[in-house]
Structure 1
Amino acid sequence: MWMSSFARLARPVLQRSASPMVCKALRSCHRMELPGAAPSFCITPVHVRSHQTLGSASLPVACHSVRHVRVVEEERLMVVEWEDGGQSLYPFTWLRDNCQCPVCTLQSAEARLLLLADLDIHTGVDSVEVTKDGKVSIVWPEKHMSVFDAEWLKKRCFSPAARQAMREELFLNERFYWDASLRIPRADFHEVLHDDGAALAWLLALRRVGIVHLKGAPAEQGQVARLAERIGYLRLTFYGHTWQVQDKSMANNVAYTSGKLSLHTDYPALHFAPGVQFLHCINQAEEGGESEVVDGFHMAEQLHREDPEAFRTLTSLRIDFTDTGTDYCDFMLQSKNRIIDVDSEGNICKINYNNATRDSVLDVPLHQVQPFYRALKAYVDIMNRPENVVTYTMEPGDIVTFDNWRLLHGRKSYVSRPDRLRHLEGAYLDWDEVMSRLRILRRNVHGDV
């Protein structure tokens, strides 16, 4: 359901500026993979690996009705047979742990009251039945009763398809990969501030594509803070709640110079780098200063295909980063991060790379030094291929919002007039806050999904 909602909401935003292939991807987002059918892939401008298929990421919208319930004592499972012919299995322990009655759950906070110390993890079941209103009732050996709504149970089915659907509904992990052919999605700054549908489309596109331009903001400081209030709150860092990107004498960051910035993610010197970045153009340079972005996840996929050994190196070695100076307060940061982070299933989930703050300390065994440099150079070379880089010029009033865990961004060198210095204001948020607001907006626009 949420996937078709994304297609409806994001399509008007993306189609105004997206490439035909991205539009095709959005049109195909509502498709579902039926049991036994060939996988249905959501087409992207470039490439999608099989683990990123939308497939069973959406559950049918139809209301689910329970036909029959029974228990399998030796397996300690409750079996729910659905009217559509399917069935779901639920462990006794999980059911008792998640009793929804007022004694076991504080409904006003949707929080568990039942203490784990009081949970019998070897509990049996006295009886199960389908109530007249279609719910599932369980009586436990201590004569406590639990009643579960059918839809609540269906969404929490332990089948691989249902678990994948729930992951996708909660976290929206699917990504649309892109290269230099991408036309960056655009939205109106004031619409995003005042209209829930526009704000939802913005955040969905930000999550899926990784970058969205907001047009029409006032060309004055304070707008990134206004935009952040639409979500929740800003991430405070050693550079402040917001920071001014200008050419400064005795700069404490290479971004505060007029030279070229190579493609990078911000703040790998932190062990938990900010997830989302806002950059607002207040004044543009007289000459130069064009922005560059690449899809770091897609570039990592290319590296994986072209040079598996380099990919293994960058996903295994923890590299030192450092950042020292004075701004919001004094700071002396040290971190160890993998250049490419993958999750337990091997999916790329985060890029940590900034050549300026990569430390001269390289805490790896001597025999791995050269393989590390070779691997990093291979990754950077892929990123710098012209067919992979999107170049754009920000105008006063533009705000670019992007995924700092995924995109690498850079800037060409520039020349400014002394009376009109190039000036961008920046801010950070974390993905937890962004995803929280996205879920709330989705509920407000579409109801409880």
Structure 2
Amino acid sequence: MYSGCKAFVLTDRQKLYRVNKPEMWTSTLARFARPALQRSTAAVTCQVLKACCRSGPAAGRLPPSLTSVQLRGQQSLVSASHPASRQLVRHARALDQERLVEVEWEDGGHSSYPFTWLRDNCQCPLCTLQSAQARVLLMCDLDIHAGVDTVEVTKDNKVSIVWPDQHTSVFDPEWLKKRCFSSAARQSLQEELFLNERYYWDSTLCIPTADFQQVLQDDNAALAWLLAMRRFGVVCLKGAPAEQGQVARLCERIGFLRLTFYGHTWQVQDKYMANNLAYTSKKLSVHTDYPALNFPPGVQFIQCLCPAVEGGESQLVDGFHVTQQLQREDPEAFQILTSLLVNFQDVGRDYCDFHLLSKHCIIDVDRDGRVHRINFNNATRDSVLDLPLHQVQPFYRAIKAFTDLMDRPENVVSCRLESGDIMTFDNWRLLHGRKSYISSPDSSRHLEGAYLDWDVVMSRLHVLRNSVHKDS
């Protein structure tokens, strides 16, 4: 753990404050893996995550019952897991006028399922290839106006539907309950699938750490690491050999590397005639990597092979926390940065010669207005500004307001990577930079980096979660 770093408690203001419990971050990863291992559904997970430091209605305190879980050996993770409770159906009936099948559960709850959706998702071998979890039924063969002949609960507590053409669909109650159309059930399932809740932080964050060898060898440790990286945006792995090739080993634990114009992996060193500002000893302002690509890499790994003699400290900013501040303090600037497209370019030669061009909003938001990606690198922001004259000055005012927030000391975490440390972080969320540095001729600062896509990382997270559930 970085010197001077202490763990945190959460307050009602969603700020992270230091407390005298230096061991607590050792258990941080377990704290996020534990609820993921407790249920095959997301109900418990969502309750825990919504209680943490994301702003708005979901904000609150971390439940104290989870603060003492220890990560070492992941023994507590296994012992804390429980099989999902079995869903029991009390009654099922067809509501012909509403075109719904209503299921009454043993606990007294009700769920309703549209006829068309049930027919479309029949799980029989004629309609679904179970080995691939893929739909065989063609849209041209789906009667979206089909009614229902009979609905009954079978002796083994499944819901059986006979359609007018005498085709029979049988649904497992756990499968149905998970796909309930109620607002609460849909929200819970989406959180389980995509893990969109985040923990916002400021300069008081102590960066979560995990053991490199455990992550490579133990599924519980790997799952805990990926869950924490998804939630916090950053985890530092300790104990890796300080030699080239370790970031590639870590990537192979997940899936495969993202090849870019800088290669499968890349060496961050002070280079003559550098083709990237990172390959100099100059200060780098905080940024996200590669907005010159139309689809920037989602995750970045960077390992310190040799630290600088002086300087070179890493600086990290939670971009989602800062955009939240911007929206609150300067809504006009937030609106500009979420609506105006900005040109980026990257020109040079490395893995091959390249001339990249892209257009992004500095802040990308989803259909619900939630920030899901930051696209900002001042070094590769193009001099071409595709805006009408009257929007130029407001744009500069907005981007200056955003960068001023990034530079506030209370928003910046500074740390020094030591030999072997691997920083793993969310490149869509985290803005990272470094101080200028001085190297000696016989000890030049050297980092090795690699990229992955979030698709690959989330795939491995789901596979690990299923594997751990199965084993537990």
Counterpart Cα distance in 1 of 2:432 and 2:398: 20
1:342 alignment counterpart = 365
**Counterpart of 1:431 in structure 2: which amino acid?**
W
1:101 alignment counterpart = 124
Counterpart Cα distance in 1 of 2:398 and 2:282: 26
- The verdict on how the C-alpha distance between 1:39 and 1:231 changes in structure 2, with shifts beyond 3 A counting, is closer
CA contact (8 A) 2:51 2:58 kept: no
2:150 alignment counterpart = 127
How far 1:100 sits from its partner (Å)? 0.3
2:210 alignment counterpart = 187
**Counterpart of 2:453 in structure 1: which amino acid?**
D
Deviations along 1:345-387, whole A, 9 cap, x unmatched?
1111010000000000111222111111111111111111001
How far 1:265 sits from its partner (Å)? 0.1
- The verdict on how the C-alpha distance between 1:180 and 1:92 changes in structure 2, with shifts beyond 3 A counting, is same
Counterpart Cα distance in 2 of 1:324 and 1:302: 33
Counterpart Cα distance in 2 of 1:145 and 1:421: 70
Q: Answer yes or no: is 1:398 the counterpart of 2:407.
A: no
How far 1:50 sits from its partner (Å)? 2.2
1:28-427 alignment to 2 at 5 Å?
41-44=50-53, 48-50=55-57, 61-427=84-450
* SS of residue paired to 2:230: helix
- The verdict on how the C-alpha distance between 1:151 and 1:270 changes in structure 2, with shifts beyond 3 A counting, is same
After alignment, is 256-265 or 414-423 more displaced?
A: 414-423
How far 1:418 sits from its partner (Å)? 1.4
* SS of residue paired to 2:25: coil
Deviations along 1:27-67, whole A, 9 cap, x unmatched?
99999999xxx9995132xx522267899xxxx94322111
- The verdict on how the C-alpha distance between 1:130 and 1:21 changes in structure 2, with shifts beyond 3 A counting, is closer
Query: When the two structures are superposed, what TM-score results if normalisation uses the length of structure 1?
Result: 0.90
**Counterpart of 2:424 in structure 1: which amino acid?**
T
After alignment, is 116-125 or 147-156 more displaced?
A: 116-125
- The verdict on how the C-alpha distance between 1:192 and 1:88 changes in structure 2, with shifts beyond 3 A counting, is same
How far 1:413 sits from its partner (Å)? 0.2
Q: Answer yes or no: is 1:434 the counterpart of 2:457.
A: yes
Gaps of 5+ in 2: 1-20, 63-82
1:6 alignment counterpart = none
- The verdict on how the C-alpha distance between 1:89 and 1:241 changes in structure 2, with shifts beyond 3 A counting, is same
Counterpart Cα distance in 1 of 2:179 and 2:325: 35
How far 1:416 sits from its partner (Å)? 0.4
CA contact (8 A) 1:25 1:42 kept: no
Deviations along 1:189-236, whole A, 9 cap, x unmatched?
111111111111110110011100001111110000000010000000
* SS of residue paired to 1:357: coil
Moved over 3 A (4+): 14-34, 38-41, 51-55
CA contact (8 A) 2:307 2:444 kept: yes
* SS of residue paired to 2:393: helix
**Counterpart of 2:55 in structure 1: which amino acid?**
V
**Counterpart of 1:117 in structure 2: which amino acid?**
C
- The verdict on how the C-alpha distance between 1:360 and 1:17 changes in structure 2, with shifts beyond 3 A counting, is farther
**Counterpart of 2:52 in structure 1: which amino acid?**
I
- The verdict on how the C-alpha distance between 1:25 and 1:169 changes in structure 2, with shifts beyond 3 A counting, is closer
- The verdict on how the C-alpha distance between 1:232 and 1:167 changes in structure 2, with shifts beyond 3 A counting, is same
* SS of residue paired to 1:233: coil
1:3 alignment counterpart = none
Deviations along 1:115-149, whole A, 9 cap, x unmatched?
11111111111111100110000011111000000
Counterpart Cα distance in 1 of 2:60 and 2:147: 39
* SS of residue paired to 2:203: coil
Counterpart Cα distance in 2 of 1:340 and 1:258: 29
- The verdict on how the C-alpha distance between 1:355 and 1:40 changes in structure 2, with shifts beyond 3 A counting, is closer
State the percentage of identical aligned residues.
Answer: 67
Q: Answer yes or no: is 1:445 the counterpart of 2:463.
A: no
CA contact (8 A) 1:279 1:424 kept: yes
How far 1:71 sits from its partner (Å)? 1.4
Deviations along 1:283-339, whole A, 9 cap, x unmatched?
111110000000000000000111111111111111111111111111111111111
How far 1:343 sits from its partner (Å)? 0.6
- The verdict on how the C-alpha distance between 1:113 and 1:53 changes in structure 2, with shifts beyond 3 A counting, is farther
* SS of residue paired to 1:18: helix
CA contact (8 A) 2:50 2:197 kept: no
CA contact (8 A) 2:26 2:210 kept: no
CA contact (8 A) 1:52 1:174 kept: no
* SS of residue paired to 1:244: strand
CA contact (8 A) 1:33 1:40 kept: no
Query: When the two structures are superposed, what TM-score results if normalisation uses the length of structure 2?
Result: 0.86
Equivalenced residue count is 427
- The verdict on how the C-alpha distance between 1:40 and 1:358 changes in structure 2, with shifts beyond 3 A counting, is closer
How far 1:85 sits from its partner (Å)? 1.1
CA contact (8 A) 2:33 2:227 kept: no
Gaps of 5+ in 1: 1-13
CA contact (8 A) 1:17 1:183 kept: no
CA contact (8 A) 1:25 1:43 kept: no
CA contact (8 A) 1:41 1:54 kept: no
Counterpart Cα distance in 2 of 1:353 and 1:379: 10
